[in-house]
Structure 1
């Protein structure tokens, strides 16, 4: 998985225009942490199973047993806070990370995540037409 993770991280860095792999990984980890709080425990665990072990901590640090209910604006606000950026940058970061995840994870997992989230999240996953 390490080789495929390195390729994924390089793709994330290139797509996001991040200065280096460390910054790309920081953005990824923060986005996973916010996403984990929005997903059901079952879906967060399914996503964690697809990722390297050291990234699963971000998905396991859920603040509640139940998925929190918040929209894209709050998702981006939380991401901006974690990454110490503005909302515009956080939205771009969310789009980069979630689109890369959707492009590289099982389709059924992406569909499961999109099913749990409000329709306004679909563009963040690079799936603007999904309802």
Structure 2
């Protein structure tokens, strides 16, 4: 897959009006995600992506604090101009749903397992809760 193909899929999924908007959202979400994945999982995901996207994911310092899904969305909202929690959730979900398609079920399961609770829905997956 080429960078322009990934951008086109994100643009279609997120219903963005321009490639520039899709590129900005893709880079921002992937860079934010990169800091929250273990080295091994991050590298396996990066191998599935075009070089430009892989760089956004790979070259991040590890997060100092694990973030739940909603906290992650709020972090992205602060980085996007004029974003609200609702629009940031849309942006994050648009990128992560396409990432799930690109990575396939097994790797996506590994990514979700590598993250704190609250990310599955952002990848377009149901999140099962265990009840004690």
- Give 1:115's aligned residue: 113
The alpha-carbon deviation at position 47 of structure 1 amounts to: 1.0
- Where do residues 1-131 of structure 1 align in structure 2 (5 Å cutoff)? 1-2=1-2, 5-64=3-62, 68-84=65-81, 85-130=83-128
Gap regions ≥5 residues in structure 1: none
Higher percent of residues as helix: 1
User: Would you say how many aligned residue pairs link Structure 1 and Structure 2?
Assistant: 128
- Secondary structure in structure 1 of the residue aligned to 2:61: coil
- Matched residue of 1:38: which SS? coil
Give the TM-score taking structure 1 as reference length.
Answer: 0.86
Deviation at 1:39, TM superposition (A): 0.8
Q: 1:19-69: per-residue Cα shift (whole Å, max 9, x none)?
A: 1111111101111011111111111111111111122221123222x7741
